Amino acid sequence: MSEAALTLEGWYALHDFRAMDWNAWKSLSPAERKQAEDEFLSFIQEWSDIEDKKQGSTALYSIIGQKADFVMMHLRESLEEINELETAFNKTTLAQFTIPMYSYVSVVELSNYMAQGDGDPMQNPEIIARLKPTLPKANHICFYPMNKRREGNDNWYMLSMEERRGMMRSHGMIGRQYAGKVKQIITGSVGFDDWEWGVTLFADDALQFKKLVYEMRFDEVSARFGEFGEFFVGNLLDQNKMSKMLEI
Ligand code: 76R
């Protein structure tokens, strides 16, 4: 058996993609819409209070194209909290006017391919900050799930630790060139959802997603082993932009 990579886990993640049922939303009176919107905005406020207390983080983005209209990406300490949050949203008036389009359950993950240093990593503030990150308020988000291939000679899980480490180093070197332009959060989902990882990228310039993902396609880890699910790309929503989006 090949040596399994060791992983560190942080906050749990839920990516919750919704479409708006615009016909139903339009059929409400302005007062009813206002009530639903205010209730949702107070939720956004609660999420931001939790973020301030470093007990979790939430990102809210509109989604371009027909796959969804918006995404709520939540990070929380436990799956119970994530579940409560999801249920609380589902009980809101606004939620009645949304259609669930896609969701993804995972946990923030760091692996030991590039790890250095000794001591307990869970006592290292830099590592804790990466495992329990405050999600950036970048202009754009990009999310997709992915696997590492397990087929014939291209079986990632049959490679030695050294071979995988070498390829992950090359992967990391490409990634590093995007430091300051793209922030990536890798969430592991083996045992939780249909793919092995969720990749969430944040950038002020959406073109950097295309450039980074394209460049990685030529790198051996992605070229030989990367299998990808659906891609979602979106724009940052704050309270004002959310109100504007809901305006009829
Ligand atoms: O954590 C680290 O910074 C160390 C280096 C590193 C690891 C271990 C790293 C760096 N990644 C790691 C793990 Mn990554 N990453 C992806 C994708 O579209 C594609 O082709 C792949 C999707 C992108 C865009 C990306 C970006 N990475 C992983 C893993 C887990 C693998 C495993 O355990 O087998 C996956 C699935 C994955 C996928 N990666 C970086 C980036 C970027 C931008 C970096 C540099 C980060 C930085 O230096 O700040």
pLDDT digit string, tens, across residues 35-91: 999 999 999 999 999 999 999 999 999 999 999 999 999 999 999 999 999 999 999
The one catalytic residue among 113, 144, 157, 178: 144
Q: Tell how far the Cα of 186 is from the centroid of ligand 1, in angstroms.
A: 7
Q: Which of 124, 184, 230 to mutate to test the pocket of ligand 1 (most atoms within 8 A of CB)?
A: 184
Q: How many domains does the chain have?
A: 1
pTM of the model: 0.97
Q: Is 130 labelled a binding residue?
A: yes
* CA trace torsion 31, 33, 38, 40 (10° rounding): 160
The CATH number for 96's domain is 3.30.70.1030
Distance CA 113, CA 130 (A): 16
Asked if residues 226 and 128 have their Cβ atoms less than 8 Å apart, the reply is no
Residue 67 lies in a domain: yes
Ligand 1 near 136 CB (within 6 A)? no
* Residue whose pair of structure tokens reads 């942080």 in the numeric block: 10
Residue 2 lies in a domain: no
Residue 93 lies in a domain: yes
Question: Which range of residues forms the domain containing residue 93?
Answer: 7-246
Residue 209 lies in a domain: yes
Mean pLDDT, all residues of the chain: 97
Query: How far lies 87's CA from each of 51, 57, 72, 95, in Å?
Result: 19, 17, 13, 10
Residue 1 lies in a domain: no
pLDDT number for residue 172? 97
Ligand 1 near 41 CB (within 6 A)? no
